[in-house]
Chain A
Amino acid sequence: MMQFFQFTEEQEMLRKAVREFVEAEVAPKAAAWDESDTCPMELFPIMGELGINGIFVPEEFGGAGMGHTERAICIEEIARHSAGLAIALMTHHLGMAAILDFGTQEQKAKYLPELCAGTKLGGLAVTEPGGGSDFSGQKTKAEFVCGQWVLNGRKCFITNYHADVNVITTVTGQDEKGRNQLTAFIVEKGTPGFNVGRHENKLGLRGSNTGDLNINDVKVGEENVLGKVGAGAKIGMACISEVGRAGMAAICVGILRGCVEEGVKFANERILYGKPIAKLQAIQFEIANIRTDYEASKLLLYSATGKKDAKIPAATDFSLAKYFSSEAAVRSSKRAMDLMGGYGVINEYPVGRFLRDALASIPSGGTSHIQQLIIAGSTLSDFKA
């Protein structure tokens, strides 16, 4: 018999625990982080103690030893109040996932414990001024010279560009067909020639740091190569498709829950013509649409994370979840604003921030058009008569 969708007792307890943390430490400050575009780095050590940073990392490397469903729960709960902090966390996870899934035992032992503890911040830098989705067209190069790798180039729109431990993709050669071969490196903050560049002033997802990385004659040893030479594309794509998009979908589910809760609260409290506007059908239609977007996004997300935890390939599932939930978050936050009338555009209410965060979520981890291409490719191949 098919079972209905249900979280385990442990997952429910985790959600409750993270919610308590978020309501105490995140919710009261989220609007201020958004306004000042400040990343609350002081929370990373606390999230380390709570196991949120290393939620999917095995205990031997300082993690909680849970899975990607639990990771999505943590991100969703944080994004309910601060999508900005949530994307900083989700990108931290992205760097950790690259090291966990493709690193050597030494690399895992060297980097993961501090990343789990939150005493160091992680990140993954792929996108370049020429674009993020033109993966193999990137220009940052690495050459092996006199026993060490020398990296040169520029990365842009990098979330957590101030990270301590960065996984960076570079071009290290061409294959027999002349296509770029990519290699991933672990580069630590402070390595000579490795500098942060301009800080981007974003529309949404503020409270996470986004900017450039300038890479000028950065020299690293062979021990900094992540995975094998030439495996960079695989590493980058695997992490972005199954960890990055999972994170973005979880952020959007968090935003959507915010739309449901804030919309319902307002509809019940706002009195018009002597009764709460929740009694008006026009408002009920908006509430129903927002709720449906939220529930559908949640199902897509947690169905995908369930597959990932069961070691079933889920790249298309995460594309479906990311595509649907980010577009849903945009239209639902607009709907929530609509039902609030003039209050919707007042920054004292969070729904305007939800809309900006939702809009900024569309390009993160691949735009909706890219997700559509992935979904279409898989569909055209899987649904042949």
Chain B
Amino acid sequence: MNIIVCIKPVPDPQYYDKVSIDPATKRITREGIPTIINPVDKNGIEAALQLKKTYGGKVTVITMAPPNAVENLREALAMGADEAVLLSDRAFGGADTLATSYTLAKGIEKIGDYDVIFCGAESADGATAQVASQLGEWLTIPHLWNVFSLEPQDDKALHVKTKVENGSMEWAVKLPCLLGVARELNKPRFISAMGIIKAKNKPIAIWGKVDLAVEDERLGLTGSPTKAGEIFTPDLKRKGEILTGTLEEMVDTVIERLRTAGVNVQATTKACDCCEGGGQK
């Protein structure tokens, strides 16, 4: 069984305080910020390694990212994947989910023979949760999203459960298929020292635009219909004000202000326990 796992390098959460958004390009500034494999993508790698253990075959990891993503791929190889492919080209830069999934689809078509493709359900940075399904559409294969349970029926079909709002759904899905996996699916293995040594000699192919059968206008920023709107920091300043007057007047003012702000304050004449029949508003 040949399995492909799509992974994405995302900023290391330890450095979130250094992540910023470029006001001109409206994109996340990633330069100099160490990356990790998107956490839920590791669940995809784990699922792939478990399937390989049962059915044999090969696990290939693929990512579309800048050249330093070789480190993330090496980590996936150390987990146990057999081969890695890095899609890296200046022309791929600035891609939204549509252009990303298109480029990944072309990379996967070049890899060729596959039975299952795993993606993480969503990324820890963008969190659009769109790429898995879009990729399934580009490849015109069955695809399921938010997979939290996976049992192979045989080497031709999988028994899959997906999370849906307030419940779950069960599916029998024929291969080849694509699964966007949730974190609940499994517990990704730790990387071993032996895995690190083996990873050193495993192949990492680096493919650019010229290596793929792509239409230029579908790549990168050009191929991305998503346009970021205004980016601003909401004004969250607070203002203190000391009210004057009698207690009753001040309470009336507070209630009036709350009502003006849209809070539904109900009037009641029920006497409270601490005063004689005065009642509360």
Which residues of chain A have a CB within 8 Å of any CB of chain B? 9-10, 13-14, 16-17, 20-21, 24, 46, 49-52, 55, 59, 64-66, 70
Contacts and interface: CB of A to CB of B under 8 A. Distances in A.
Interface string B50-78: 00000000000000000000010011001
B190 A55 contact: no
A59 B194 CA distance: 9
Contact of B197 (A21, A24, A64): A64
A64 B193 contact: yes
Contacts of B196: 10, 13-14, 17
A20 B193 contact: no
Contacts of A21: 190
A66 to B, nearest CB: 6
Contacts of A50: 190-193
Contact of B192 (A16, A17, A24, A59): A17
A13 B194 contact: no
Given A13-B75, A13-B78, A17-B78, A52 B191 contact: no
Nearest to A50: B192
Interface residues of B, number: 14
Interface in B15-72: 71
Interface string B213-226: 00000000000000
Contacts of A55: 193
B281 interface: no
Most A CB within 10 A of own CB, among B193, B194, B197:
B193
Given A10-B200, A64-B197, A65-B197, A49 B192 contact: yes
A331 B191 CA distance: 35
Given A13-B191, A17-B192, A51-B192, A66 B75 contact: no
Nearest to B79: A17
A17 B190 contact: yes
Nearest to B190: A21
A59 B197 CA distance: 11
Contacts of B195: 17, 51
A13 B74 CA distance: 9
Interface in B136-194: 190-194
A96 to B, nearest CB: 15
A59 B193 CA distance: 11
B74 A64 contact: no
Contacts of B191: 13, 16-17, 20, 50
Given A13-B74, A13-B75, A70 B190 contact: no
B190 A51 contact: no
11 contacts: A9-B71, A9-B74, A13-B78, A17-B191, A17-B196, A20-B191, A50-B190, A50-B192, A64-B193, A64-B194, A64-B197
Contacts of A51: 192-195
Contacts of B194: 51, 59, 64-65
Contacts of B192: 17, 49-51, 64
A220 B191 CA distance: 40
A50 B80 CA distance: 12
Contacts of B193: 14, 17, 50-52, 55, 64, 66, 70
A9 B73 CA distance: 13
B197 A66 contact: yes
Contacts of B199: 13
A64 B191 CA distance: 12
A10 B190 contact: no
A70 B194 CA distance: 12
Most A CB within 10 A of own CB, among B71, B75, B190, B191:
B190
B34 to A, nearest CB: 10
B253 to A, nearest CB: 30
Given A14-B193, A14-B196, 12 more contacts: A9-B74, A10-B196, A13-B74, A13-B78, A16-B75, A17-B192, A20-B191, A46-B190, A49-B192, A50-B191, A64-B192, A66-B193
A10 B78 CA distance: 10
B142 to A, nearest CB: 33
B214 to A, nearest CB: 31
B75 A10 contact: no
A40 to B, nearest CB: 16
Most B CB within 10 A of own CB, among A52, A64, A70:
A64
Given A13-B74, A13-B75, A13-B78, A20 B190 contact: yes
A141 B41 CA distance: 59
Contacts of A14: 193, 196
A309 to B, nearest CB: 15
B194 to A, nearest CB: 5
Nearest to A21: B190
The 8 closest A-B pairs by CB, nearest first: A51-B193, A64-B193, A17-B191, A50-B192, A21-B190, A51-B192, A51-B194, A13-B196
Contacts of A13: 71, 74-75, 78, 191, 196, 199
Nearest to A54: B193
A285 to B, nearest CB: 25
Nearest to B12: A16
